[in-house]
Structure 1
């Protein structure tokens, strides 16, 4: 593979997808040129300012408005506003020549073959040979677009189908044409995975590729099933949500967000372009969906779809559901299901599927009927849309947020059992499934030496899934590599002298068993290994300390126990920092409270790009008590320079904790001061996180790791800082921004960060600050209002502002 580097990308078309694809390349530090058409004439505002069609502000209005709209959208397409410096805007007439300096040109204009071909004509004039060129189409056959282009263009041309929103949805489908050079395909598969953080799936040039072909079949089949089984909108969303390992927004809520019209377009396209699909009748819209289309009930964009937001008599927001029979909106009904209740306590999703499939009520029946159809459909799509079954599972997980792909669900039930279920529901698997079972192969996947292998239909044998050697998947190695475990943690040998400690408590909260697990892992690593990674494969790294445990002890007034628990937490954070071996923490997604404190004490933080990190204890009436408050004071001290006003530095750190700021990305976690400049690195692809963290621990060990000495030189401002904190809290209170109790917690936090009421700025030790932190935490645990706040979080999941 030639040594290709992507320094600059041109994105042609700045609509919803184009602007967001541009933002995601900017997120990873690539220079982006975003172009769109020139408007036909100045608008009223521009004309009033005396601008003409020659003015740059007019010529670039479409692209600049589109980018501004994208950046304001929620969730944000950028890691931080600072990455927008990587994007330059322009238009097709004046700036197409600038694509000569780009390494990759991505076309994202409207889904119209003629328009796309006219854009490629312009591209061909200015593009330098060897530059990658790709289209983000989802509806037009890729080979048609490259017709009539030069040989060099065709060799470097490919479909690259991002899913919306590109920052958050992990799927990138790569669709070569017969002329695409193999090295281009290999490069895009690797680049998408490693640099863009995507699950890259190689697709054939078939209608709707893989994810939309299976996903839209699945939704359309469900729309028909709703009528057959007489299901309500609420029932379907309850049956197809988290219980099934699918997003909370399930089916109808997701359709409202994406837009019913989008789904109808793909379904209509499939009906026209896949005439040989044995299920083509499924792509015909049921009458109630046609009615919704006529009424323009397309979801959020038109204010109503399967759900409608209204206000009740008292002005409270209420979300109504659509009655699919009468097409009238009505209050939502609670869904009760014995099957779903039975699946609730089962954490392991594969085991949950078995229970779901055996359900005796509507939910169980729904599962059997819908999955029988889905299994038949995906088995028939091989080799049409993919030669390998794992690509279908990858596409559904990454594009539709399913935790298990269709073949993985089938494996969970047992392939043989799945076939029996299908036959009972009048469905038949493809012939290759029966041949596989007849040959004695019982499953679609196997784990061998920590690697997942898939059943390859052509060779009738199991093969390694390519690219897995770059990943360490704890689920695959736990069985053979566990060194030690307790109720809340497992210590695994990652090889090369590096251990991994994972939490598996509810929401990965940190209680006694997690603290003892970390200490045990450090003991083992110091004795017989070279380094430690603290990372896990859970949905979130950690939601913070187990406040339920603190609440119980505080209610019972067991103050010695609370004191011991805080001390153990602090000591564990300090042990992470001062142990004889390097400790790398690998956070992802929610990393709150104690999870953030452990990260702040690590030798290195290897974090996933989507990490939402923060010290949030203030919300439950406490201050960070696991070393977080001490650490913020220490970091403020390190930033005090002669030319700076020290109080301003302190104020910034104080406010980050007092407002419980949580980062919206890894980049922002650094900007908020939770990460230190040379002590962190970002992993784009979540599947690579543990492997990257292990590599970093090894690098530190190989460099001759020595632990940092405990600090004795932390400058605290004493009364000089406290004056500012108290005055600030006072004015916030008078302006009614915070409650009286918030003011009290602010003062406690300020007291610790200022090192107490010392008469002058003083140098203190880490232990001095830890003792103050523990004392303040302990005293807040004894306050009725703190206990009320904790209780509100535990019982209602909502913060209380008392």
Structure 2
């Protein structure tokens, strides 16, 4: 199997088009084909329309507009011969065996020998797909089951057949891992594979038990949500999201494929209300509404929920679940043993769901790690089912199952008093089907801070951050505050980390394994300080942050920042002061301070001016760079991917992008080590800025927006303070402006704004609601 350099996707529906977009995100050319509609004047209309929809999709399917240019379109009548130039051909057509097999016959005639063919089927076994096809096709064929939306869902289930060439599986797995950023889970050729088999069982059981126990949908979703580490949508909200009309198809295929003795069949109940909702178009968010809806009648926007007993909509209400208030929200065993409706519901659903998970090993997966990975990444569970069993206790779960008359699976009985996971000699281990523990082995090139923590102690630590030795002379600064918000603890540990690295190590990486790199400065602490009049403490934090960031930028060793998720405000400013950035592809980066009524004051304004003014491709002169930075910062623009962050200069063109989140730390460490030899810190540069005339131009632009109702009164105040910084202050400039002067202007501007009531109102509002205040 040669390297995968070009991919074809056949089937331009939601999944096929999404797969094509994500292949393009990886920088790989992709050919998207579909049928020719009867009587169509444009024979490529289906594929072309799919790309147009992708470009407008929210959330975005493409990581940048440049990626979209890598997708070429065609149809299976005129362009099937083009498959000969493709290394991997993904079939993503309708879930009908006859249609798929007829297409495979045509693909086999057109493809290059040795090229990979895979199906994105979620329901049809591989043995059925390849029945009657030549050995040459079977050797290169496998199932690659993506999850929707393909860009954002990290799970890829791969199923290989008995005749599939192992080298083919290895090549696709490596490509999916490194280039597409997927966690590849090997599944056996069983119905529904892993995630949909267990996920559908869980959803079907949860819906049926909610009807049986006469629960409100809000109550059911509150129990089947955060207490178990499930998404806050719960069960009914999740079904609304994926579509009620999809569920009968998945259930039907599993019903036909699974043996009669499988517990899945016991979850199937005819609910007339659901059938009626589907028939009348109430299929969830894509339809008129679902179990929840937004009632827009009479110009209102009223959130409503359906009554499972009557089928009528009523105002949505916050669920009152006493069992969660009494400690059941943290003690799952207590919740599942509680006598009230919520406790009975939690037990009826989760005891059997977890037992069903135990049945899938080794039937559908070789080990428990595969099942846990599949549910965490395919259904966004915070904990896999076996991790949940460890929280409850296998022995306690066994007692519940026996009391409820449910058969105890062999794997669960094997565990009994033992956990499914343990740490031994600094290594995380899982319980195998033979009763022995095995080390969890990471793929080559994966380095996780979570694993390092099992084997070592931090070099430095306080309540907000820690410093770890990650080997080969590289240390890693980790943020540990809530949402990784930046506070005095992080700033002080950064200063200490810089000192220690200079004395004993080669390089520093700034990285963490939270959902977000950093949401920015801790606004709650800032608001508290301002409310008690401690403006001196706020100014001290601004000054200390500036100093720490400048010390980092000009340190005598390389500093590499490795963000994932949100890197906002002060988090973005860390990236702007690092020697290099190795960003996860799904990094959302921006200077958003103006949205809360202040301006970037840890060097963000200065760094952005420097980046734009020193760009050889950008227009020269004192005004273009300040204007561009003003446009980006005043509107609190956030890049929606690492690729887009390069276009906005939050990242440099030479900064690296890692597609697989699990490979980010290893890539950042390698980047840091590559910079060590011959390293010299950058030299400060002065900037040519326009002065008061430039500020007048920016103020006039904001006045224009205000007259059109696009800028509020306080927007004008904040923009004015930002413009003063970006243009270099009140003085007319005959000489370039130093970075020291710009930092001084940042501090002054920040402190002026933080003292206004309108800014304090903005901060308080966003802390309370999570939404910006337009005052």
Shorter-chain TM-score bucket reads over 0.9
Match of 1:447 in 2: 423
Cα gap change, 1:473 to 1:357, in 2 (>3 Å): farther
1:465 to 440, 448, 458: 440
The RMSD of aligned alpha carbons is 2.0
SS at match of 1:217: helix
1:707 to 661, 678, 681: 681
1:695-734 equivalences in 2 (<5 Å): 695-701=670-676, 703-709=677-683, 711-734=684-707
Q: Distance in 2 between matches of 1:697 and 1:426?
A: 58
Is 2:87 the counterpart of 1:111?
Answer: no
CA contact (8 A) 2:394 2:415 kept: no
Q: Distance in 1 between matches of 2:23 and 2:521?
A: 36
Give the deviation of 1:15 after TM superposition: 0.8
Give the deviation of 1:469 after TM superposition: 4.9
Match of 2:9 in 1: 11
1:788 to 747, 761, 769: 761
Match of 1:551 in 2: 527
Cα gap change, 1:366 to 1:476, in 2 (>3 Å): farther
SS at match of 1:77: coil
Cα gap change, 1:149 to 1:782, in 2 (>3 Å): same
Q: What's the CA shift string for 1:474-511, capped at 9, x where partnerless?
A: 23332432222111112222122222121121211111
Q: How many residues align?
A: 773
CA contact (8 A) 1:639 1:649 kept: no
SS at match of 2:77: helix
Match of 2:364 in 1: 385
Cα gap change, 1:143 to 1:59, in 2 (>3 Å): same
Match of 1:46 in 2: none
Q: Distance in 1 between matches of 2:166 and 2:618?
A: 58
Cα gap change, 1:515 to 1:423, in 2 (>3 Å): farther
Give the deviation of 1:198 after TM superposition: 0.9
CA contact (8 A) 1:15 1:66 kept: yes
Match of 1:240 in 2: 224
Q: What's the CA shift string for 1:391-444, capped at 9, x where partnerless?
A: 11111111101011100111122222332333333334212332344xxx7111
Give the deviation of 1:331 after TM superposition: 0.8
Match of 1:293 in 2: 278
CA contact (8 A) 1:379 1:430 kept: yes
Cα gap change, 1:366 to 1:790, in 2 (>3 Å): same
Q: Distance in 2 between matches of 1:643 and 1:782?
A: 37
Q: What's the CA shift string for 1:509-549, capped at 9, x where partnerless?
A: 11111111222222222222222221111121111101121
- Gapped runs of 5+ residues in structure 2? none
Is 2:335 the counterpart of 1:335?
Answer: no
1:279 to 234, 254, 264: 264
Match of 2:742 in 1: 769
CA contact (8 A) 2:281 2:288 kept: no
Cα gap change, 1:596 to 1:161, in 2 (>3 Å): same
Give the deviation of 1:301 after TM superposition: 2.4
Give the deviation of 1:259 after TM superposition: 0.7
SS at match of 1:279: helix
Cα gap change, 1:360 to 1:597, in 2 (>3 Å): farther
CA contact (8 A) 1:372 1:427 kept: no
CA contact (8 A) 1:419 1:429 kept: yes
Is 2:500 the counterpart of 1:505?
Answer: no
Match of 2:85 in 1: 101
1:474-489 equivalences in 2 (<5 Å): 474-481=449-456, 482-489=458-465
SS at match of 1:741: helix
SS at match of 2:475: strand
Give the deviation of 1:361 after TM superposition: 4.4
Match of 1:22 in 2: 20
Q: Distance in 2 between matches of 1:341 and 1:472?
A: 39
CA contact (8 A) 2:623 2:689 kept: no
Q: Distance in 1 between matches of 2:586 and 2:617?
A: 32
Q: What's the CA shift string for 1:98-151, capped at 9, x where partnerless?
A: 111111111111111111112112111111101011011112221222233332
Give the deviation of 1:156 after TM superposition: 0.7
CA contact (8 A) 1:343 1:352 kept: yes
SS at match of 1:492: strand
- Gapped runs of 5+ residues in structure 1? 43-52
CA contact (8 A) 2:498 2:555 kept: yes
Q: Distance in 2 between matches of 1:84 and 1:641?
A: 23
Q: What's the CA shift string for 1:36-79, capped at 9, x where partnerless?
A: 1112103xxxxxxxxxx4xxxx1111211122123222111110
Match of 1:50 in 2: none
Match of 1:48 in 2: none
CA contact (8 A) 1:270 1:283 kept: no
Q: Distance in 2 between matches of 1:706 and 1:341?
A: 57
1:201-350 equivalences in 2 (<5 Å): 201-276=185-260, 277-311=262-296, 313=298, 315-341=299-325
Match of 2:402 in 1: 423
Match of 2:599 in 1: 623
Identify the range of structure 1 (574-583 vs 359-368) with the bigger mean alpha-carbon deviation: 359-368
Q: Distance in 1 between matches of 2:38 and 2:113?
A: 32
CA contact (8 A) 2:623 2:694 kept: yes
Match of 1:403 in 2: 382
SS at match of 1:682: strand
